Amino acid sequence: MKTNLKFLNDLYVIKDIQEDSQGGRVIIQTEINPDHALFGGHFPGSPVLPGVCTIQIMKELLIFHLGTRLELRKAGTIKYLSFINPEVNRLINFDLQVKETEEGQLAVSATVFYGTTVFCSFKGEWGKTERE
């Protein structure tokens, strides 16, 4: 499943979406492009997806899934637990659990993983915005 998401001109594509029937959880599988120019500088010969790119992909997937523009309002916890090497880990799953708070923010708990390897865990709040 290709989408029109073009973060950094083709860093990833969405491969699969599994949505919880109650709508609060979605698992989106992405495929990272190991030939992307980003990996020529981060790091030559030993490519690693930068942590900030992982969070940006998460943002774009939330926007795609929810159909609204978002901005990060609070990053309570971000833990990077393992490197994402696109030559080894092309497929990455984003398990996104979303709940609306009383203040109208979106509380998100996320796990970025593939198989038994967890790359990142995230807990924070996103807010709807007019700008991208």
| Choice between 7 and 69, residue whose per-residue pLDDT is larger | 69
| Predicted TM-score (pTM) of this structure | 0.91
Cis status, amide bond into 64, omega within 30 of 0: no
Per-residue pLDDT averaged across 107-132, rounded? 94
In this prediction, residue 5 carries a pLDDT of: 58
In this prediction, residue 4 carries a pLDDT of: 54
Distance CA 33, CA 67 (A): 24
Q: What's the chain's average pLDDT?
A: 91
- 73-103, pLDDT tens digit by residue? 999 999 999 999 999 999 999 999 999 999 9
Domains and CATH numbers, the chain: 7-128 (3.10.129.10)
> Which residue in 44, 121, 127 sits closest to 87, CA to CA?
44
Q: State the Rg of the chain over Cα.
A: 14
Q: Which two tokens stand for residue 31?
A: 């495929």
Residues with Cβ < 8 Å from 81, sequence gap 6 or more? 118, 119, 120, 121
- 23-33, pLDDT tens digit by residue? 789 999 999 99
Q: Which two tokens stand for residue 63?
A: 């926007």
Q: Which residue has the tokens 């860093």?
A: 11
Contact 59, 126 (CB under 8 A): yes
Question: Any idea what DSSP says for residue 45?
Answer: T
